[in-house]
Amino acid sequence: MSSPATLPPFGRLNLICMWLESIMYGANVILYGGCIYVIASRNKHGASSSYRLLLSTSTLSISIATAHVILSFLQLLKAFTDPAIASQPDGADKYFSIQGGNGLFVAGTGLYVTNLFLQDVVLVWRLYVVWDQNWKLCVIPVISLIVLYVNALIAVANISPPGATILESNVLPFAMTSWALDLTVNVVATCGIAYRLWQASRRITVFKGRYTYKSTIFMMIESGFLAVLCTSVIVGLLASQDIAGNVGINLHMQAATTIPLLIVVRVGFSLRRGNDTRTTTLPSIGREGRLPMIYAPAELSNPEYGHTVDEDTSSEVWNMPNRKL
């Protein structure tokens, strides 16, 4: 482990990763500002529980991301400036090669696990709302999330003792199980949401509306693909016994924050341009098919479709007949 030929350049890897994480964090701060603007402008009366939930989870997520960036910086500071470490050959590489006993790393990993769990919860909540609050569809995803978080916490606890690494036999299996469940939940929930939106889009074409859920479907698929890609890269590296995969956790941490914020911002600003529907919360694709005014083309003059105002968003909606999606 002391030979430069056998010890990977963990110090350099973490330095580069911290630089990239800082860039992603800066983008997340901007996205968070846009998220606040969208939520505030859409929830003028402050009465919608959906908007309050999005605001709370977004704020908690950016707070966790902020704390993680600080911990990553403190680790770099210690690795490259602590005399006890810097005076040794490959001191920084040795410091980052062993995670056990490193309080900063353990705390950062705990934040990473919590943030990943939080974003999965938001994704399952979106699935629940889109499918008209059908809790039966969410039973398996919720159980998977609980098992995911428990396994992740066990992995964090087992990596805490001095000298331990993520490749230990009492750490890696729990970590891999958590990531596997994360992949499963992301794929299932994303496909479920996209399929429901596709159903709604087909229904809307019956009324010859100009706008559909097409852009939102692609956006959900893109977001799900990004989440799956990040997790797959880390799992692939660690499955090949490459401890360098652990460095990617820092980037995955910020990506987990980016994805839900980006969905809110993109949907919010597309609404302002009239390009799509408010699919961030999607409270109006239920049994009664209440759709925002932008989905009601001028041809819908039939009195069968009642015209009301959505109290949550102060936007006009058309109440369409009771037809199952």
Give the pLDDT confidence of 271-294 residue by residue, as tens digits: 665 554 444 333 344 444 443 332
Q: What tokens were used for 278?
A: 């408010």
- What pTM did the predictor assign? 0.78
Q: What is the pLDDT of residue 69?
A: 96
For residue 307, what pLDDT band results from cuts at 50, 70 and 90? very low
Q: What is the pLDDT of residue 93?
A: 87
Q: Which of 166-170, 230-234, 297-301, 309-313 has the lowest mean pLDDT?
A: 297-301
Residue 307, beta-bridge partner list: 318
Distance, C-alpha 148 to centroid of its chain: 15
Closest Cα to residue 244, out of 74, 85, 96?
96
Instruction: Report whether 288 contacts 320 (CB < 8 A).
Output: yes
Helix (H) or strand (E) holding 254: helix 249-272
Closest Cα to residue 204, out of 281, 267, 313, 285?
285
Q: What is the pLDDT of residue 297?
A: 33
pLDDT tens figures, 169-225: 899 999 999 999 999 999 999 999 989 888 877 776 655 554 566 777 888 888 888
Residue 1 has pLDDT above 90, yes or no: no
* Helix, strand, coil percentages in the chain from 3-state DSSP, rounded to 5: 70, 5, 30
- HSE value, Cβ hemisphere, 13 Å, CA-based, for 104: 16
pLDDT tens figures, 52-77: 888 899 999 999 999 999 999 999 99
Kindly give the interhelix angle for 249-272 and 103-130, rounded to the nearest 10 degrees: 30
Give one DSSP letter per residue of 1-68, joined into a string. Answer: --STTTS--HHHHHHHHHHHHHHHHHHHHHHHHHHHHHHHHH-TTS--HHHHHHHHHHHHHHHHHHHH
Q: What is the pLDDT of residue 212?
A: 60
Q: What is the pLDDT of residue 319?
A: 44
What is the spatial distance between Cα 109 and Cα 99, in angstroms, rounded to a whole number?
A: 10
Average pLDDT of the chain? 79
- Domains belonging to the chain, first-starting first, are 10-281 (1.20.1070)
Residue type, 214: K
Determine the average pLDDT of the residues in 79-105.
Answer: 87
What is the spatial distance between Cα 195 and Cα 198, in angstroms, rounded to a whole number?
A: 5
Q: What is the pLDDT of residue 214?
A: 75
Instruction: Report whether 199 contacts 325 (CB < 8 A).
Output: yes
Q: What is the pLDDT of residue 51?
A: 81
Q: What is the pLDDT of residue 110?
A: 94
What is the spatial distance between Cα 323 and Cα 307, in angstroms, rounded to a whole number?
A: 17
Instruction: Report whether 8 contacts 243 (CB < 8 A).
Output: yes
Instruction: Report whether 291 contacts 321 (CB < 8 A).
Output: no
Instruction: Report whether 258 contacts 35 (CB < 8 A).
Output: no
- HSE value, Cβ hemisphere, 13 Å, CA-based, for 267: 25
Give one DSSP letter per residue of 185-201, joined into a string. Answer: HHHHHHHHHHHHHHHHH
Highest mean pLDDT among 65-74, 263-272, 315-324: 65-74
What is the spatial distance between Cα 272 and Cα 187, in angstroms, rounded to a whole number?
A: 29
Residue 309, beta-bridge partner list: 316
For residue 98, what pLDDT band results from cuts at 50, 70 and 90? confident
Expressed in angstroms, the distance from the first to the final Cα of the chain is: 61
